């Protein structure tokens, strides 16, 4: 860290959550390295010229099929850029690493690497991290992390910088799909806000990502599979000639005198087709240290390949050949079950685990696990830490897809493997969970977790002994596996019932101690839907219990029994099942509540909430406040999505203006002149829409097929209309000399309206209000209705318009309906009932008039 920084800045930067995902991290090096010298020459030259050149595009997307060599290219570019001091940051995604398969630590990792890259960047980001806004951003959405930790602190610093800053992102397809769109959206915002930044990104072709790229400009796409066959064959031959040369063979097997012949290399080149992963895996098989016989390994491979498989049609055929080493065609059921249990666990655990932990999790011996892995060393790496890691994501993609892997002996069934792990999690918790698992004594039992551990002198080693890794894993992740498993399985349901009726509170205690209590609500929620009535009621009580006493339990695990349980409603099933756990409390509680009260939760916000809205099925609640601007500056808005049954936060979406679709499928959020669409989990859908000026109003059609945005200031404006399916711009409507005060779609999404009420401008001149009605499909204008104050019926059948003390009803085509109402004073507010049967007018004298229309 830069020596000139103050200690608080250094510490705040060091505390940034980050993943071990940099291109040259140890775990990445186990899988990726630079391109072999002399290969990918033209592509690497083109990419290097793009980084330092004047190309207007700010993102370079390298797209290619699995195994074609994208990560190797990304590693090479990152390494060369680092040597030239152009690499600001890098992030290599990996589906088998918990911190590298989602976006939670993506932008915090990028921010940390930028601090290491440049002292001025470190000062700016360090200063932000010492503010409430900066420290809070660490735990917020990726977009908020990007804005608070990177864009805001660096915008003025890099404004005049000519030298590019490169960010390399590899294997975006290995990031969770919804998070991948968050990353893409954020990177797009990054290069737009900070033009000196450039991004190189690699990914497999994926429909949602492809749609994003097709709907956006400002990037360059290169499809790796488009390189000519003869160029690819030449690169693979060069790689194999080197990898199987006498010098390289003796590097791994010092006593060997073997090297591959030209004929053997030609055969391997044909077998590999265009896939570098096959070539690199073949080298690993031939030079296997355990076999120590490259000549025999080569002949075994050549015999197994056969001329009818040259080249392999795809990776699937190649992996089938490898898997036959561990699962022969004529093997017995024990071998098949052992293979499926072990490989299934390695693939489906929520983060990589050492062999000893895997053995506990699937109840298989360590020796059996090693026996399987030794035959799959070419596709599953076993590092010095004894943690198995998949060499390439195409391998689990193949064996877990029944359409690709049609051999039932080789296929890994996700439902079956998750069910096996779930049952073992319940068994582990059944064996190890108990009250006061750390054995705290005296006053330490009543203190916060941290103070209690300190008071009793409990060390980290003692905690690991009393809450072993297998118990931590079972408590934290059983629900993740259960969500995929077959809930009708008898053994699984027996385990779930025993857990719910005997160990629920012990589980909450452990989650509090290991800092995972925030996962409790989701775990119970996903379980509740597929249970019997009694168990369902107990789980419902547990949801209320967690919501009601979350802060207490989070602060002190043992107060689950001392403070939370005694105040649980006495008529609840949870109280009757667990009240015995409160029998040795110092004080007993009399006259407690009999049932859960009506208050579900208090949902805290940073500012006054402007909009609250329930979904039509009452399962979700949205609350938000929009950007606040005054003479001292501005504060951004924020939209929160909650579980309406429990008050549990689901997601947070940043922005300046917001709109929510009636079906609660989509949220539109704008920042400056860009509107982004999100799903209700808070992940961008991949659609970004750009207007020419600042967006001041947003609207979404009922099923999110259209989005409209009003732009510019209060006294003039434009309305933009887009098709959200393909991000196609439909129409722009100018001439709103009174600004854009309201935008609204009809329920059937066929019409939308925009307009403003009358107002007096800065010069004291009165401007007439008006309402414009448009065809939402084509953008064709239908009618314009004048008025001081305007109102529209929910069914879009009628518009009410007032001038002074007269209210007039219009049809949507702009024609008069023939109905006019006269009041005794000026009309200031109007409202129409759903089917236009009633009209209400609020007058300047404080009265409200109501008519039958």
Mean pLDDT, residues 534-563 taken together: 91
Residue 758 covered by a domain: no
Residue 214's pLDDT is 67
Q: Rounded distance, CA 555 to CA 240, Å?
A: 59
> Does residue 691 belong to any structural domain of this protein?
yes
141-145, 291-295, 428-432, 561-565, range with greatest mean pLDDT = 428-432
- Please, how many CA atoms are within 13 Å of residue 436, restricted to the half-sphere of its CB? 15
Say whether both 280 and 151 belong to one domain. Answer: no
Per-residue H/E/C for 448-517: CHHHHHHHCCCCHHHHHHHCCHHHHHHHHHHHHHHCCCCCCCHHHHHHHHHHHHHHHHHHHHHHHHCCCH
Residue 312 has pLDDT above 70, yes or no: no
Domain assignment of residue 778, yes or no: no
pLDDT of residue 587: 62
Give per-residue burial for 80-93: e unless 16+ CB within 10 Å, then b.
bbbeeebbbbbbbb
The pLDDT of 451-457, averaged and rounded, is: 90
pLDDT higher than threshold 60 for residue 407: yes
Asked whether the beta carbons of 711 and 718 are under 8 A apart, the reply is: yes
**Nearest residue to 283 (alpha-carbon basis) of 235, 311, 249, 314:** 249
Query: What is the rounded average pLDDT of the residues 405-426?
Result: 95
> Which one is predicted more confidently, 435 or 317?
435
What residues pair up with 165 in beta bridges, in sequence order? Answer: 197
Residue 139's pLDDT band (boundaries 50, 70, 90)? confident
- Find the mean pLDDT for residues 24-34: 63
Distance CA(556)–CA(445), nearest Å, equals 9
How many helices, marked H, and strands, marked E, lie in the chain?
Answer: 31, 34
What does the pLDDT look like over 345-398, one tens digit per residue? 999 999 899 999 999 999 999 999 999 998 888 888 887 889 998 888 888 988
Residue 311 pLDDT exceeds 70: no
Let me know: does 640 contact 603? Beta carbons within 8 Å: yes
Q: What is the mean pLDDT of residues 285-294?
A: 84
| Confidence class for position 647, pLDDT limits 50, 70, 90 | confident
397, 354: one domain: yes
Report how far residue 605's alpha carbon sits from residue 626's, in angstroms, rounded to the nearest whole number: 12
Q: Examine the domain organization and report whether 432 and 534 are in the same domain.
A: yes
Same domain? 129 vs 212: yes
438 falls in which pLDDT band (50, 70, 90)? very high
Most confident region among 503-512, 667-676, 815-824 by mean pLDDT: 503-512
Q: Which range is most confident: 8-17, 136-145, 561-570?
A: 561-570
Considering 278, 312, 346, which residue would you say is the last residue of a domain? 312
317 vs 272: CA distance, rounded Å: 11
Check whether residue 184 and residue 96 sit in a common domain. Answer: yes
- Which domain-ending residue is among 692, 713, 740? 740
Range of the domain at 505: 415-582
Asked if 342 and 362 touch (Cβ cutoff 8 Å), the reply is: yes
Reply yes or no on whether the pLDDT at 429 is more than 80.
yes
- CB within 8 Å of 777: residues ≥ 6 apart: 750
Residue 52 in domain: yes
The Cα 636–Cα 624 span in angstroms is 11
* Cβ proximity of 641 and 650 under 8 Å: yes
Of 226, 250, 277, which residue sits at a domain end? 226
pLDDT at 97: 82
pLDDT band at 578 (very low <50, low <70, confident <90, very high): very high
According to the model, what pLDDT value does residue 394 have?
84
Q: Quick one: average pLDDT of 145-169?
A: 92
Is the pLDDT at 200 greater than 60? The verdict is yes
Q: Are residues 38 and 102 in the same domain?
A: yes
- Summarize the confidence of residues 774-797 as an average pLDDT: 87
- Res 49 pLDDT > 90: yes
Is 849 part of any domain?
no
Q: How many domains does the chain have?
A: 5
DSSP string, 657-713: EEEE-TTSS-EEEEETTEEEEE-TTS-EEEEEEE-SS-EEEEEE-TTSSEEEEEES-
Average pLDDT, the chain: 86
Residue 309's pLDDT band, with cuts at 50, 70 and 90, is very low
Whether 46 and 185 map to the same domain: the answer is: yes
The answer on pLDDT for 479 being more than 90 is: yes
Q: What is the pLDDT of residue 417?
A: 96
Q: Which residue has the higher pLDDT, 5 or 187?
A: 187
Name the pairing type of β-strands 59-63 and 838-843.
Answer: unpaired
Examine the pLDDT at 47 and tell me if it is beyond 50: yes
Q: Check whether 261 has a pLDDT greater than 70.
A: yes
| 706 alpha carbon, distance to own chain's centre | 24
Q: What percent of the chain has pLDDT over 90?
A: 39
Pair (441, 544) in one structural domain: yes
CATH of the domain at 379: 1.10.10.10
User: Which 3 state secondary structure label does DSSP give 846?
Assistant: coil
449 shares its domain with 561: yes
Q: What is the pLDDT of residues 208-248, one digit of tens each?
A: 667 677 666 667 787 777 777 777 888 888 888 888 888 88
Residue 310: pLDDT band with limits 50, 70, 90? very low
505 within some domain? yes
pLDDT at 464: 93
Q: pLDDT value at position 542? A: 93
pLDDT for 7 equals 64
Q: Indicate if the pLDDT at residue 415 is higher than 60.
A: yes
Q: Are 505 and 377 in a shared domain?
A: no
- Give pLDDT tens digits for 683-732: 888 677 888 888 888 999 888 888 999 886 555 578 888 888 777 888 88
19 plus 107 within the same structural domain: yes
Same domain, 202 and 70: yes
801 belongs to a structural domain: no
Whole-angstrom Cα distance, residue 97 to residue 21? Answer: 9
145: in domain: yes
Of residues 176, 185, 111, the one with CA closest to residue 143: 185
């Amino acid at each position: 860290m830069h020596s000139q920084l103050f200690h608080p800045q250094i510490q705040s930067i060091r505390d940034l959550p980050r993943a071990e995902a940099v291109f040259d991290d140890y775990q990445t090096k186990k899988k990726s390295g630079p391109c072999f010298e002399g290969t990918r020459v033209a592509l690497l030259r083109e990419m290097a010229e793009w980084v330092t050149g004047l190309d207007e595009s700010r993102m370079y997307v390298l797209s290619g099929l699995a195994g074609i060599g994208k990560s190797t290219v990304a590693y090479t570019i990152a390494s060369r850029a680092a040597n030239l001091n152009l690499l600001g940051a890098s992030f290599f995604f990996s589906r088998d690493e918990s911190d590298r398969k989602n976006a939670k630590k993506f932008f915090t990792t990028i921010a940390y690497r930028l601090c290491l890259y440049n002292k001025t960047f470190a000062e700016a980001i360090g200063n932000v991290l010492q503010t409430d806004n900066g420290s809070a951003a660490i735990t917020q959405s990726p977009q908020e992390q990007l804005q608070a930790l990177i864009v805001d602190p660096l915008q003025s610093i890099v404004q005049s910088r000519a030298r590019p800053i490169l960010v390399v992102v590899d294997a975006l397809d290995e990031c969770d799909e919804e998070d991948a769109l968050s990353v893409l959206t954020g990177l797009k915002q990054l290069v737009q806000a900070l033009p000196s930044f450039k991004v190189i990104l690699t990914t497999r072709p994926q429909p949602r990502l492809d749609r994003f790229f097709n709907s956006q400009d400002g990037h360059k796409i290169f499809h790796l599979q488009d390189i000519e066959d003869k160029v690819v064959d030449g690169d693979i031959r060069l790689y194999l000639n080197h990898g199987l040369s006498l010098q390289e063979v003796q590097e791994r097997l010092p006593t060997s005198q073997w090297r591959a012949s030209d004929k053997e290399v030609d055969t391997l080149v044909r077998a590999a087709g265009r896939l570098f992963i096959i070539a690199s895996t073949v080298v690993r098989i031939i030079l296997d240290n355990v076999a120590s016989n490259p000549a025999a390994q080569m002949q075994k491979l050549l015999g197994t390949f056969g001329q009818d498989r040259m080249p392999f049609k795809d990776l699937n055929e190649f992996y089938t050949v490898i898997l036959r080493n561990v699962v022969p065609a004529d093997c017995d059921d024990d071998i098949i079950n052992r293979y499926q249990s072990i490989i299934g666990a390695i693939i489906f655990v929520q983060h990589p685990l050492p062999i000893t932990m895997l053995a506990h999790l699937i109840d298989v011996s360590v020796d059996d696990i090693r026996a399987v892995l030794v035959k799959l060393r070419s596709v599953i790496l076993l590092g010095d830490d004894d943690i198995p890691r998949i060499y390439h994501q195409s391998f689990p993609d193949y064996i877990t897809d029944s359409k690709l892997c049609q051999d039932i002996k080789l296929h890994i069934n996700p439902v079956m493997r998750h069910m096996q792990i779930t049952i073992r999690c319940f068994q582990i918790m059944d064996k190890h969970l108990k009250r006061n698992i750390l054995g705290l004594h005296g006053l330490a039992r009543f203190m916060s977790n941290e103070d209690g551990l300190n008071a009793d002198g409990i060390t980290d080693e003692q905690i690991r002994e009393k809450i072993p890794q297998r118990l931590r894993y079972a408590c934290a992740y059983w629900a993740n596996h259960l969500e995929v498993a077959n809930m009708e399985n008898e053994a699984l349901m027996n385990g779930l019932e025993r857990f719910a009726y005997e160990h629920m509170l012990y589980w909450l205690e452990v989650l509090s101690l290991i800092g995972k209590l925030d996962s409790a609500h989701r775990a119970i929620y996903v379980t509740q839907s597929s249970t019997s009535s009694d168990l369902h009621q107990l789980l419902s009580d547990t949801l209320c219990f967690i919501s009601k006493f979350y802060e207490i339990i989070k602060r002190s695990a043992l107060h689950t029994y001392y403070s939370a349980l005694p105040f649980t409603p006495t008529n609840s099933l949870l109280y009757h099942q667990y009240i015995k756990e409160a029998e040795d409390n110092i004080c007993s509680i009399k006259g407690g509540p009999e049932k859960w009260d009506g208050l579900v939760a208090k949902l805290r916000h940073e500012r006054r909430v402007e909009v609250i809205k329930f979904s039509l099925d009452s399962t979700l609640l949205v609350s938000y406040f929009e950007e606040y601007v005054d003479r001292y500056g501005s504060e951004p808005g924020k939209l929160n999505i909650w579980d309406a049954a429990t008050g549990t936060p689901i997601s947070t979406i940043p922005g300046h203006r917001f709109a929510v679709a009636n079906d609660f499928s989509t949220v539109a959020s704008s920042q400056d002149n860009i509107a982004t669409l999100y799903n209700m989990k808070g992940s961008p859908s991949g659609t970004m829409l750009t207007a020419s000026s600042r967006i001041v109003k947003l609207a979404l059609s009922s099923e999110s097929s259209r989005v409209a945005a009003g732009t510019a200031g209060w006294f003039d404006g434009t309305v933009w209309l887009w098709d959200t399916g393909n991000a196609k711009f439909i129409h722009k409507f100018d001439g709103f000399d009174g600004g854009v005060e309201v935008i609204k779609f009809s329920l059937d999404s066929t019409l939308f309206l925009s307009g403003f009420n009358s107002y007096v401008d800065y010069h004291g001149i009165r401007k007439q209000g008006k309402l414009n009605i448009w065809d939402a499909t084509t953008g064709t204008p239908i009618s314009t209705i004048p008025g001081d104050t305007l109102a529209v019926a929910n069914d879009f059948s009628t518009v009410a318009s007032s001038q002074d003390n007269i209210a007039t009803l219009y049809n949507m085509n702009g024609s008069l309906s023939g109905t006019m109402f006269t009041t005794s004073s000026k009309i200031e507010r109007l409202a129409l009932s759903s089917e236009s049967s009633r009209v209400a007018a609020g007058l300047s004298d404080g009265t409200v008039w109501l008519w039958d229309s």
